[in-house]
Amino acid sequence: MNASMLSYILFSWLLLSVQAEYCGVREIIRYTQRLLDDSSRGHELACFVDGTKHLMENSTSPSPVITRLYLTFQALLDRSLCKRLAHGDQCQYEAKGNVKEFLEKILTTYQEMDKFNA
């Protein structure tokens, strides 16, 4: 088993072992900040799932960080975790923005939640 597979298994285990209100705030901030270094209400979890899936599908070789973000958001949505952001199973917004704006929206949303929890 290689290191990449081991970290994926550990990350998956972490997601499965969380409590019902766990939002993965710090991990999502860290992953999003890494993506921004490289490259308000209404930003529901379903939109984050759709957006990160779109980033994965429209890239010739998606970043492992984007994949981890997508898997995190999808797990939170599937298990009805993070009730603050789970406003339905489908994104209600049609507006399109650029990748940097999308990642900044994720980052600011989760940073606000982190401040609230501190």
Residue with more model confidence, 94 or 52: 52
Pairwise CA distance, residues 58 & 117, whole Å: 34
Statement: residue 92 has pLDDT above 90: no
- For the beta carbon of residue 58, count every other beta carbon within 10 angstroms: 9
Pairwise CA distance, residues 52 & 105, whole Å: 12
The answer to whether 15 and 72 have CB atoms below 8 angstroms apart is yes
pLDDT digits (tens, 9 = 90+) for 2-55: 555 566 565 555 555 544 456 777 888 888 877 766 664 445 788 889 889 988
Q: Which residue range is the domain that position 108 belongs to?
A: 3-117
pLDDT at position 26 is 81
The answer to whether 99 and 55 have CB atoms below 8 angstroms apart is yes
Give the DSSP H or E segment for 1.
Answer: none
Helix axes 45-57, 64-78, angle to 10 degrees: 150
pLDDT digits (tens, 9 = 90+) for 67-85: 999 999 999 888 877 766 7
Q: Name the domain count of the chain.
A: 1
- For the beta carbon of residue 112, count every other beta carbon within 10 angstroms: 13
